[in-house]
Structure 1
C-alpha cells in the first residue's frame, strides 16, 4: 500500500478540541488541542526531554545514570546523544507529515502555555514507519515496539485494516497532570482519525496512568503483556521497571 499523506483539502492547522478545567486557584482555565506547526518544534522537543523521557517506564530503565547537577535519576535516552538526535529526526519527519497534536492553556493577554503533545504517525501495510536507530537506547526501544505491534498484536491481521494511526509518545507537563489532559488528547486523536479517514488507532500504553487515561477515553484493550515476558522475548534489559505490563489498544 502507498504511504499515507494527509488530505490536501483538510485545513491545517486545525483545532480538534476545546475544554475548560477548574484549577487550584479556583478559576476556570481554557485549553485547546490543535495540530502542531513547524515553529513549535523546539518547545515540543523540550517538553518531551523533561516530562516524558525521564518518566516513561521503558525510557526510564534503558540504562539509568546519575545526573549530579539535578540530583536525580534520569533516563539513559536523555544522556544518549545519538538516540536523542535520531528521535529528533523522527519527530521532525512526523511534524512535516502533520501528525502531531498539541494542547495549550489559553492565557488571556499573554503567551499560551504548551502543556501536552502527542507524537503520532500513520502506519500502512507494507510501509511500516519506524525510527531509524543506531543509538543504544533507541535500538532497544524499537525492538520492544516492533515486538508488540508486529509479533504480538499483529494489528493488520487482527483487525483487517491496511492502515492505522499509531503514536510514539504522549507527554503531559507535570504541572498539568491529574486534570484529564491525557484523556482529552486521546479523544482529540479520535477526531483526528475521523477527519483524516483513518478507521483505526493503536497505542501501546506503557504506564498505569496512561492505561487509566485510555480506559476513560473509551479505548478497548486488545492485549496485555507483562514486562517480564517482554524482557524474556526481546532480550532487552528492563530491570527496575516500576510498572507491570504494556496494554495495547
Structure 2
C-alpha cells in the first residue's frame, strides 16, 4: 500500500446552485499517478491562459509545450518541487479528481546555478522574461531569504473557479512556508483571479509593472487583461 498523502487543509465551498462541496488540499509526490493529470491541467488551463506564457507564444508551439514540464518541475538543489492538489474530501489517495493545484520549488542560496537549455525560441523567450522580471524584483535579495519558495504556477480548473479554491491554495502556501521557517512567500500574480485571491488572503503588492512597458522591454505582446502584473507577498509569522 502506498503512503497516505499529507493533508494540508480541509474546507467547504458553496456553489451558485446552493450545493456544498467538501474539499481538501493534499501534497502529491512527483511519482504519484495523479501527477499526469496535474500536468495535463497545467498545460490545458494554466499555460494557455497565463499572460507570460502567452506573451512568449508558448501555447502556439507544440514543441514548446513539450518542453514545459522541464521548466515546471525543475529544481537546482536536492529538494523536489512541492505539488499541492485541491480535490474532493471523499477522493481516495489513488483516485483524485484535480480541481486545482499549486506548484513551488524550494530554492537555497547554496544551490548550483539552474541550467536549463531549451530548443524552442518560445521557451527561450519565456526564460528571458522570467529572468528579466527577477532582475526587476527579487524577494530573495530584498528580504535576504534562505531558503525560499519559487513559484511555478497556481491554477483552478474552469468548472471550479469563483469558489475560493485559489485563495485556499495560497493559504496552504503560507502553511508550507511556516513549516520551513520561511517568513516571506512571493509570486508574480498575472491574472485578475490570482490577484484578487491574493488580496483576499492578505497578500501585499510590493512591485507592479504595466504590461505596456513590458511589451517594449521584451518585444512581445501581452493580452493586457489585467493591465499589469503584480509581485505580491504574504508575510508569515514564525
Matches for 1:202-217 after TM superposition, within 5 Å: 202-217=186-201
Could you tell me which residue of structure 1 aligns to residue 23 of structure 2?
31
Partners of 1:158 and 1:189 in 2: CA distance: 20
Q: Report how many aligned residue pairs link the two structures.
A: 224
The CA deviation at 1:15 is 1.1
Matches for 1:131-150 after TM superposition, within 5 Å: 132-149=117-134
1:43 aligns with one of 18, 37, 59: 37
The CA deviation at 1:53 is 1.6
Could you tell me which residue of structure 2 aligns to residue 246 of structure 1?
229
Aligned partners of 1:186 and 1:217 also within 8 Å: yes
Could you tell me which residue of structure 2 aligns to residue 5 of structure 1?
none
Q: Spell out, residue by residue over 1:172-211, the C-alpha distance to the aligned partner (whole angstroms, 9 max, x if none).
A: 1000000110000000011011112223211000112211
Matches for 1:1-249 after TM superposition, within 5 Å: 13-37=5-29, 38=31, 39-63=33-57, 77-93=58-74, 97-107=80-90, 111-125=95-109, 127=111, 129=114, 132-149=117-134, 151-233=135-217, 235-249=218-232
Aligned partners of 1:48 and 1:171 also within 8 Å: yes
Aligned partners of 2:34 and 2:96 also within 8 Å: no
TM-score by length of 2: 0.83
1:97 is paired with a residue whose SS is coil
The CA deviation at 1:236 is 3.4
Gap regions ≥5 residues in structure 1:
1-10, 64-76
Change (3 A) 1:126 1:136: farther
Partners of 2:126 and 2:165 in 1: CA distance: 25
Change (3 A) 1:152 1:132: same
Aligned partners of 2:91 and 2:97 also within 8 Å: no
The CA deviation at 1:219 is 1.1
The CA deviation at 1:232 is 2.1
TM-score by length of 1: 0.79
The CA deviation at 1:93 is 4.2
Change (3 A) 1:152 1:165: same
2:100 is paired with a residue whose SS is strand
Gap regions ≥5 residues in structure 2:
233-238
